[in-house]
Amino acid sequence: MIDLKSPEPAKSNGLILVAEDDKAILELIDYNLKLEGFKTCLVGQGDEVFSAVQKHKPDLVLLDLMLPGEGGIEICKKMRSTESTKRIPVIMLTAKSSETDKVVGLEVGADDYVTKPFSTKELMARVKASLRRNKLINQTQKEVLQKGDLTIDLRSYKVSIGSQEIGLTLTEYKLLRELMAAQGEVLSRGDLVSIVMGPDVSVTDRTIDVHLASLRKKINPYADHIETVRGVGYRFKQ
DSSP 187: E
Tell me the per-residue pLDDT of 173-207, one tens digit each, with 9 for 90 and over: 989 998 998 888 888 888 888 777 654 455 555 77
pLDDT > 90 fraction of the chain, expressed in percent and rounded: 47
Ordered structural domains, the chain, with CATH: 15-118 (3.40.50.2300), 142-236 (1.10.10.10)
Higher pLDDT, 134 or 50: 50
* Among 61, 13, 63, 59, CA closest to 36: 13
Q: Quick one: pLDDT at residue 40?
A: 96
Q: How far apart are CA 122 and CA 174, in angstroms?
A: 15
**pLDDT band at 167; cut points 50, 70, 90:** very high
Binned at pLDDT 50, 70 and 90, residue 20 comes out as very high
For the entire predicted model, the pTM comes to 0.72
Residue 181, H or E segment: helix 170-181
| pLDDT at residue 203 in the model | 54
Beta-sheet strand order (sheet of 233-236): 187-188, 233-236, 226-229
pLDDT in tens, 28-81: 999 999 999 999 999 999 999 999 999 999 999 999 988 999 999 999 999 999
pLDDT number for residue 36: 93
Predicted local confidence at residue 159, as pLDDT = 94
Residue 143: predicted pLDDT: 77
Give the pLDDT confidence score for residue 27 in this predicted structure: 95
Mean pLDDT within 80-109 = 78
Given a contact cutoff of 8 angstroms between Cβ atoms, the answer to whether 44 and 21 are in contact is yes
Q: Distance (Å, rounded) from C-alpha 129 to C-alpha 238?
A: 18
Strand partners, 227: 235
Between CA 75 and CA 92 the distance in angstroms is 11
**Percent of all residues in the chain with a pLDDT value above 70, rounded to a whole number:** 85
CA distances from 211 to 103, 177, 203, 215 (A): 24, 13, 12, 6
